[in-house]
Amino acid sequence: GAGVSQSPSNKVTEKGKDVELRCDPISGHTALYWYRQSLGQGLEFLIYFQGNSAPDKSGLPSDRFSAERTGGSVSTLTIQRTQQEDSAVYLCASSSGQAQDTQYFGPGTRLTVL
Amino acid sequence: AQSVTQPDIHITVSEGASLELRCNYSYGATPYLFWYVQSPGQGLQLLLKYFSGDTLVQGIKGFEAEFKRSQSSFNLRKPSVHWSDAAEYFCAVARSGTYKYIFGTGTRLKVLA
């Protein structure tokens, strides 16, 4: 079946602009995660959605970052007033919802802020 | 707090040679442990995971890892590396029963023909 998909694959924007990154999880997966992968860094947890529960936003680095998940499926990560330090690869993952279940990752969106 | 250390940023091996990638974690109890591989332009793919039981775990693509509680390690091994194994490898840990993975900074593997 289809895996996790993300769009766009690459995004170049100017400092101060807003960007939206999209994630389509695997069909039927109730859990969805966003991570950020900066150059030379590991993956940094950003946010977690599970079903209709309130999302865990504890990893969002600032209030310029927000995410929503509509209808329990597609998710959008929004970064407002982008800064150069936001440049990174943003990865989305989904899982079936049990804590120990494997997280399946999308190919990521490479964001470059000029 | 949990943490994961991958002490080798880069490793170069010849094709056909054996491979061991190191991973050390910090956590009070037995964690969930994972190894993922990321090829250029690709998302992360799970190689193997350990939750409990047999401490030697077999994964895909001929990889295995051994959980050593006394050393707080979960090293990844492969007896004979193929050129297609060139990629970046990430170790991750999660507290049992939780979904938050803590990732290491990765080890980039280069394979010489």
Mean pLDDT of B55-65: 95
Mean pLDDT of A89-94: 94
Spatial separation of the C-alpha atoms in residues A31 and A28, rounded to whole Å: 9
B60 touches chain A (CB under 8 A): no
pLDDT at B12: 97
Residue-wise pLDDT for A26-84, tens only, equals 998 999 999 999 887 778 999 999 888 888 998 999 999 999 998 878 999 999 999 99
pLDDT at A54: 87
Residue-wise pLDDT for B8-33, tens only, equals 999 999 999 999 999 999 876 778 89
Residue-wise pLDDT for A69-87, tens only, equals 988 789 999 999 999 999 9
Long-range CB contacts for residues B12-16, cutoff 8 Å, separation at least 24: B12/B109, B12/B110, B12/B111, B12/B112, B13/B81, B13/B109, B13/B110, B13/B111, B13/B112, B14/B81, B14/B111, B14/B112, B14/B113, B15/B81, B15/B82, B15/B83, B15/B111, B15/B112, B15/B113, B16/B80, B16/B81
Residue bearing the bigger pLDDT, B77 or B3: B77
In the stretch 82-111 of chain B, residues with CB closer than 8 A to chain A read 90, 92, 94, 96-106
Q: Best of A5, A21, A104, A105 to disrupt the B interface by mutation (most B CBs within 10 Å)?
A: A105
Q: Best of A34, A35, A43 to disrupt the B interface by mutation (most B CBs within 10 Å)?
A: A43
Compute the nearest-CA separation of B17 from chain A (Å). 26
pLDDT at A99: 63
Residue bearing the bigger pLDDT, B112 or A2: B112
pLDDT at A110: 95
Residue-wise pLDDT for B67-113, tens only, equals 999 999 999 999 999 999 999 999 999 876 677 788 999 999 999 98
